[in-house]
Structure 1
Amino acid sequence: MTNDPAANGDATDTTANPAPGTATTHGHPLHRVLSFVRRSGRLDARLQRAWDNYADGYLLDVNDGEGSLDVRPGFSLDARYVRETWGNDNPLIIEIGTGQGENIVAAAAARPDVNFLALEVYDPGVAHTLLLAGKQGLRNIRVAQVNAPELFKACADGMAAEVWTFFPDPWPKKKHHKRRIVQPALAGEVRRVLADGGVWRIATDIEDYALHVHEVMDGLDGWRNDGGATVSLPTGHVGKGNADLAADMPHADFTESGRFDGRVLTNFEKKGLAAGRVIHDFTYRKA
């Protein structure tokens, strides 16, 4: 999921299982804390054509009813499902929050010996990912329009070689920090789903989110921070409207990673760099 959800509006693979058509949007029960707000954005003509042309080849039929972002009861993303869907036993990489699909589609094109699963909730982002994959006729990528934590609960142990979460929605207001996707509960599911030695790669261009990632991940049992770079971050949190206070807060050193070579420079990241923001990369390995 990108920092700007509204921006996610960035020959068919006949070996794929049939998939549903356009999903409508519905709300979620009020007691659930979600890392996104479901918007009923309309697709323009180009994206609607992409959905119509490519959804059957790429969009997985795993949802609990039309318009639902939950995974249907009884579904399991296990080795058998991967073989039936991708047609092989290649390693699987799952990206949480694909945005417009630039990164995962480029990775799928560059690594045909790896299976990729894109998780995205916004209709325009799903459609754009379908468009990019379909135009290249890629056979090693699929898309699921589901709530990521629900999908991970449905994954068998050790199914993924890597999990990627690049530039998640920062939820800048302090009262909304609980909505950030990187949380201990999801970290537990990600660790279970990762194969031995697998990694969770995270990137953000928001300093306060970087601190949040360290607070969640650095002290969790079963994870090792594989970074080799030292960065200085404020030790207190700021919210939307008072981020300028961070510079005067006490700072401490944290361990992060260099830029992940497998992440292409997307339009979104270019905008962050142009705005003067620093990119924070993390590599957490299942220990």
Structure 2
Amino acid sequence: MRNRKVLSFVRRSGRLDARLQRAWDRYADQYLLPIAEEEGSLTVPEHFALDAAYVRDHWGNDNPLIVEIGSGQGENVVAAAAAHPELNFLAVEVYDPGVAHTMLLAGKQELANLKIAQVNAPELLAAAAEGSLAEVWTFFPDPWPKMKHHKRRIVQPELAADVRKALADGGSWRIATDIEDYALHVHEIMDGRTDFTNAGSLTVSLPVEHVGKGNADMAAAMEHADFAESERFEGRILTNFEKKGLQANRVIHDFTYVTA
């Protein structure tokens, strides 16, 4: 029996405007995978397996599969799917407006290599077969800035173990954040693992203590250490979300962890 995962999100009731509702009605059968345990649920059922047979049934081929955890409005995953028809893509998103907007973008381009899963991502990764994924992307996850909420950050040891199991040999987990404290969190979770190698070639200085909401301005005065991070991933387009971070003078931290 799979353990229920700590949720890295708060379920909000996102109303769809008329345009997004039309997109949902038109494209849901084409893009939205019927994974959830029941209608309105985000739970992955015990019997579900994301494996080669499932990919073949729903994508119609055996092409490598890339999963984006928390695909938001779908800008990045849709652009990637359009640029790489030789690859399969799975967008994992829990919020109705984001799912509908992803459908709208994909439907306009008539993409056949993209599907959407509206389920809890850690449960989906736990259900992925060994070696079934080429890459996993986690771009700008919810930072959960309060110290008491750091356990809700989606990058956790349990998820890392499930991602490693799901990735093929030589596969990559790509992560990006514009929150300095989340960057430190990623290093703490990932850099000491023996099943991943940090492929970064940039040296970045980060405080070695955590800060939370309300005391982030203390970070500059804390002791710092050097960490290895990656160049910006070429396959990640500049989304509106990332633009806002840059406009707020936040530094983008990119990570590439390759299976060892």
TM-score class, shorter-chain normalisation, is over 0.9
User: How far, CA to CA, are the matches of 2:49 and 2:184 in structure 1?
Assistant: 34
User: How far, CA to CA, are the matches of 1:224 and 1:245 in structure 2?
Assistant: 31
1:63 aligned onto 2:36: yes
Equivalent pair of 2:229/2:255 in contact (CA under 8 Å)? yes
169, 194, 218: which one aligns with 1:245: 218
1:48 aligned onto 2:21: yes
**3-state SS of paired residue (1:100):** coil
User: How far, CA to CA, are the matches of 2:192 and 2:62 in structure 1?
Assistant: 33
**3-state SS of paired residue (1:37):** coil
User: How far, CA to CA, are the matches of 2:181 and 2:41 in structure 1?
Assistant: 32
Map 1:7-18 onto structure 2 (within 5 A): none
User: How far, CA to CA, are the matches of 2:61 and 2:142 in structure 1?
Assistant: 33
1:86 aligned onto 2:86: no
Map 1:18-29 onto structure 2 (within 5 A): none
Query: 1:174 maps to what in 2?
Result: 147
273, 276, 280: which one aligns with 2:253: 280
User: How far, CA to CA, are the matches of 2:6 and 2:34 in structure 1?
Assistant: 24
Q: 1:84 is matched by which residue type in structure 2?
A: D
Give, in angstroms, the shift of residue 77 of structure 1. Answer: 1.1
> Identity of counterpart residues, as a percentage?
75
1:137 aligned onto 2:115: no
Query: 1:184 maps to what in 2?
Result: 157
**3-state SS of paired residue (1:214):** helix
User: How far, CA to CA, are the matches of 1:134 and 1:73 in structure 2?
Assistant: 31
User: How far, CA to CA, are the matches of 1:69 and 1:158 in structure 2?
Assistant: 24
1:203 aligned onto 2:176: yes
Give, in angstroms, the shift of residue 220 of structure 1. Answer: 1.2
**3-state SS of paired residue (1:118):** strand
208, 232, 237: which one aligns with 2:205: 232
Give, in angstroms, the shift of residue 124 of structure 1. Answer: 0.6
In the alignment, structure 1 segments of 5+ residues that lack a partner are 1-30
Q: 2:11 is matched by which residue type in structure 1?
A: R
User: How far, CA to CA, are the matches of 1:166 and 1:228 in structure 2?
Assistant: 19
User: How far, CA to CA, are the matches of 2:205 and 2:229 in structure 1?
Assistant: 10
Q: 1:283 is matched by which residue type in structure 2?
A: T
Q: TM-score, normalised by structure 2?
A: 0.98
Q: 2:127 is matched by which residue type in structure 1?
A: A
User: How far, CA to CA, are the matches of 1:81 and 1:32 in structure 2?
Assistant: 23
User: How far, CA to CA, are the matches of 2:65 and 2:126 in structure 1?
Assistant: 16
User: How far, CA to CA, are the matches of 1:46 and 1:255 in structure 2?
Assistant: 43
Q: Give the number of aligned pairs.
A: 257
Q: TM-score, normalised by structure 1?
A: 0.88
Q: 1:86 is matched by which residue type in structure 2?
A: W
196, 200, 203: which one aligns with 1:223: 196
User: How far, CA to CA, are the matches of 1:196 and 1:276 in structure 2?
Assistant: 37
Q: 2:73 is matched by which residue type in structure 1?
A: Q
Give, in angstroms, the shift of residue 33 of structure 1. Answer: 2.5
User: How far, CA to CA, are the matches of 2:259 and 2:105 in structure 1?
Assistant: 31
243, 257, 260: which one aligns with 2:233: 260
User: How far, CA to CA, are the matches of 2:121 and 2:70 in structure 1?
Assistant: 8
User: How far, CA to CA, are the matches of 1:104 and 1:123 in structure 2?
Assistant: 16
CA 1:208–1:265 in structure 2 vs 1: closer, same or farther (change >3 Å)? same
Give, in angstroms, the shift of residue 41 of structure 1. Answer: 1.5
Equivalent pair of 2:171/2:258 in contact (CA under 8 Å)? yes
Equivalent pair of 2:78/2:106 in contact (CA under 8 Å)? yes
Alpha-carbon deviations, 1:146-172, whole Å to 9, x = none? 000111111111000000000000000
Give, in angstroms, the shift of residue 88 of structure 1. Answer: 0.6
User: How far, CA to CA, are the matches of 1:197 and 1:50 in structure 2?
Assistant: 37
In the alignment, structure 2 segments of 5+ residues that lack a partner are none
